[in-house]
Chains A and B, each alone.
Chain A
Amino acid sequence: MTEATKYTFKDFASDQEVRWCPGCDDYVILRSMQKALPEMGVKKEDVVFISGIGCSSRFPYYIDSYGMHSIHGRAPAIASGVKLANPDLSVWVITGDGDSLAIGGNHFIHVLRRNLDLNIILFNNEIYGLTKGQFSPTSLIGQKTKTSPYGNTQPPFHPGELALGAQARFFARIGGNTPKEMTQLFIEAEKFKGTSLIEVLQNCVIFNDGCFTQYTDKAVREDKQLHLEHGKPMIFGKERDKGLVLNGLKLEVVTIGENGVTESDLLVHDAKESDSTLHSMLVRLEYPLATGIIRAVEELTFEAREEALTNEVKANSKFSKVDDLFLSGETYEVE
């Protein structure tokens, strides 16, 4: 980026009136993104937001860059086409739990498998908001919704688990009420070469209010969340006295100072470990809830593989124009 194009968050705010419900975490996510974008070193005209359908998917209308509000579940496939057409763009997918894990489940797993350099923000609120309150693929067993008046009987997906199963190279989780951390996370996601998936625990004030309060409420946040940092011990708690150790094949919460446990006994987070076993355990953990960047393992992106192969084929090809192709092989003359 040149000196001349130093942006502020206002440069990324479109002229459209934001139409989410008052108090929705979506506002926090939007604001965090508008703050993160000027810090990324990308030109405004090179930024593309692609969304599917749902409350979250209105997001591109509010960012002043290129954007497409598409059809239900298909944003990852559309974004893949954008990125393949022009790998220089910074491409973002905005999606929700219904959009990406139900109707768009197939695209979700395949985009992660291919590993294009895309950033996906999954707004998880464990409910269908825009269609007014049906259970979603992340709704809990027993959850009462419009379509489960006696309680939900479908076991939920854990987005992180599904993502790691689909070979996600970058997975992070963040509470919807922590804008500062979220802004930083968006910047990290953009820096990462490969598909970055960020799950935002997003409260829906109308249809599923308080769904993440037990983890995200200011009063309990530090005690209930383990904010992971690469290379740092897995330590949490208001008093910074709790931590994680590995006991057999399970993670166990220990208290520093009890039973002779010291900080040096705690696990140290390695987001760059290619073996995803420990990352999977962290993703599944219910207490504490792991947030921050859980996994970030860079490998060649799909578009880089394609580009290398294309260059190789071009270098060895005898065709430079289609006319060369048309006249190649078996042709014959009619006199």
Chain B
Amino acid sequence: MTTAKIKKQQEILEAVVIRFVGDSGDGMQLTGTQFSDTSAMFGNDIATFPNYPAEIRAPQGSLYGVSGFQVHIGSIEISTPGEDLDLLVCMNPAALKTNLSALKAGHTIIIDTDSFTKKNLEKALYASNPLEDGSLNNYRVIEVAMTSLTKEALKDMGLDNKSITRSKNMFALGMVYWMYDRDMNHTLEFFENKFKKNPLIAEANSKVLKTGFYFAETLELIPNSFTISPSKMPKGTYRIINGNQATAWGFLAAAEKSGLELFLGSYPITPASDILHELVKHKHFGVKAFQAEDEIAGITSSIGASFAGDFAITTTSGPGLALKGEAVGLAMILELPLVIVNVQRGGPSTGLPTKTEQSDLLQAMYGRNGESPLIVIAASTPADCFDWAYEAARLTLEHMTPVLLLTDGYIANGSEPWKIKSINEMPPIKHKQISGGDPEKWNVYDRDAVTLAREWAIPGTKGFEHRVGGLEKDKTTGNVSYVPENHEYMTHIRAEKVERVQNSIPDLKSDFNDEGDLLVVGWGGTFGSLHSATKQLSDEGLKIGHVHFNYINPLPKNTEAIFSKFKKIVVCELNNGQLASILRSKFNDIKFSQHNKMQGLPFGVSELTEKFKTLIK
């Protein structure tokens, strides 16, 4: 919006990683989101990583109350939120203490010096003030009395002290906007809309943002600004989307495409609640989003809705899936369509609710009584949650067996540009509801010869009245059956039905190399890190490939063929080796190495490249 009055030097960069950190009440998530949205609209590729504590307002200034938002922007393809920071924006000592190690040596920290009080330093367990004791000598420190400058800027506006100090995050954002040559317009418009009913607050935030921007422009401590050119993304209309929103929208699209009404039975749980929050908004599409009394009622109400003819889903995270286990088995033996979404978080038990992990894979595969195989698929990036939610819908509606869709906290909360899809370009979904026909020639458990899916006769359909239940049923009529051979037959047929899904899914593809020294194997939300690390080494000339599983049960048909083309295979997971154990059980003759991390954090690209290099040697 403005052209700099004092022209400083401008340097062009390919990509930068910026992290905004402060107290959980400092508005770091909003600051980061504004910066990433603005950058995306400028044309950069982006990836974000919000990292916040489980406590809503942890005690001010404490180490565990630090909330952060990391964003990676580039003129090149960006597939992770980045690792080593180019810029760290720190609102208090606790934020500095917990985040400094991620900053590259010689790079910049912007610090609100007003928050470096004796009390805050003590809370952050600093024995001496890092701004004075030389411990930041290896970095370029920009000390700004941000709180005082904000107060000064707003002193005549008649605002209370709390509202004034709350807008200091916009001072920091203004500075970063200047440093990276960003336009302030998007954020100014955002204030106007957000504070429509309170124009004074909108004006205050705008004023502080601009004050920060001009402050950076004139400050001699910042010798130059940087620009990151727009990236070469495919032409089209884009929006920024996070994984939970993309998941919700994928289901909306599937409901419209299939012509069925969407029913969600759910119970609030971190980090899955945002899917429920999104779907409750869409009554205009006839979405029935039902907040139930517990996890079990969440899934069982969905089973009821599915029995009655809706496209039903339930959303949860690990502990909730454990509670739903028995009901998942019911949906499976009834052979009704149902999608169960598990936005994984750190476990076991309550574990790390706001942190990411991939440790529910075995629960998804086997976490039920009896022989109860499900279709298990996983999304791999924030935006592709849309496609995998849609695919989960297609599979469950066409194959008449529940689908378990795995995402995780990292891609659920992370965001990236989504090239907007139209319903017209999505594949068709052919559900199995009976609309007519002769009930005399129909049996409840008659099956499609190809998929083995049964037909879906819903209440209200005359002549097709029938009973189903959790007891083992006769292979044809569905009536209760204790016949030994029938039970064995049904056990096999339910498993085979899932296996036959192989015929309706694409082959696995190896990126970068089809054969070579090392195959990197991953699944789900680690795609970005594994892709970046493998690309880097492949560019260096190493014979390295990457396969990423989205279909886990069943696995794509050509899985073994791809594995056999590589000398070594390493299975990388944010758990203790769950996919590795599945692969070992299926492919006896193949040796799988593992790389595992269980810190509630995503993989860093450099830790991966290091590991892969040692494996290739």
Residues of A participating in the B interface, judged by any CB pair closer than 8 Å: 14, 16, 43-48, 50, 53, 60-61, 64-71, 74, 77-86, 88-89, 106-107, 110, 306, 309-310, 313-314, 317, 319-323, 325-327, 329-335
Contact = CB atoms under 8 A, between A and B. Distances in A.
A332 B41 contact: yes
A81 B465 contact: no
Rank and list the top 6 A-B pairs by shortest CB-CB distance, nearest first: A81-B304, A69-B469, A317-B284, A81-B301, A85-B308, A77-B297
Contacts of B235: 334-335
B465 A64 contact: yes
Nearest to A320: B284
B252 A322 contact: yes
B421 interface: yes
A64 B462 CA distance: 12
B464 to A, nearest CB: 7
A244 B274 CA distance: 55
Nearest to B304: A81
Given A110-B297, A314-B283, A60 B467 contact: yes
Interface in B32-59: 37, 40-41, 43
B449 to A, nearest CB: 26
A79 B304 contact: yes
25 contacts: A16-B480, A45-B464, A46-B459, A48-B459, A61-B479, A66-B466, A68-B334, A69-B469, A77-B292, A77-B301, A78-B300, A80-B290, A82-B305, A85-B263, A85-B310, A86-B459, A89-B308, A89-B460, A314-B284, A317-B284, A325-B252, A326-B249, A331-B237, A332-B43, A334-B236
Nearest to B308: A85
B420 A326 contact: yes
Contacts of B233: 334
Contacts of B223: none
A191 to B, nearest CB: 20
B238 interface: yes
Tell me the interface secondary structure of chain B in the complex: mixed
A44 B265 CA distance: 27
Contacts of B305: 81-82, 84-85
Contact of B469 (A61, A83, A84, A85): A61
Interface centre among B261, B326, B420, B470 (most CB of A within 10 A): B470
A259 B117 CA distance: 86
B41 to A, nearest CB: 4
Contacts of A48: 308, 459
B460 A327 contact: no
Nearest to A334: B233
Contacts of B240: 330
Contact of A321 (B288, B423, B466): B423
> At the interface, is chain A mostly helix, strand, loop or mixed?
mixed
Given A68-B467, A77-B297, A82 B307 contact: yes
B600 to A, nearest CB: 31
A310 B420 contact: no
A69 B283 contact: no
A84 B239 contact: no
Nearest to A327: B420
A319 B330 contact: no
A68 B468 contact: yes
Contacts of B290: 80-81, 84
Contact of B239 (A61, A68, A314, A329): A329
Interface string B275-313: 000000011111010101110110011111111111010
B458 to A, nearest CB: 8
A78 B303 contact: yes
Given A46-B460, A68-B467, A327-B420, A81 B256 contact: no
Contact of A322 (B256, B326, B463): B256
A317 B285 CA distance: 9
Contact of B37 (A53, A66, A306, A330): A330
Nearest to B330: A71
Given A45-B464, A106-B294, A80 B239 contact: no
A90 to B, nearest CB: 9
Given A65-B465, A329-B239, A332-B41, A71 B327 contact: yes
B349 interface: no
A45 B283 contact: no
A60 B305 CA distance: 18
Nearest to A44: B465
Which of B253, B288, B293 has the largest count of A CB atoms less than 10 A from its CB? B293
Contact of B470 (A69, A325, A335): A69
- Among A79, A85, A322, max chain B CB count under 10 A is at A85
Nearest to A50: B304
Nearest to A103: B296
A321 B253 CA distance: 9
Contact of A323 (B41, B422, B458, B479): B422
Nearest to A109: B293
Nearest to A5: B462
A322 B300 contact: no
Contacts of B37: 330
Interface string B456-487: 00111111111111110000000110000000
B234 interface: yes
B304 A330 contact: no
A327 B249 contact: no
A307 to B, nearest CB: 10
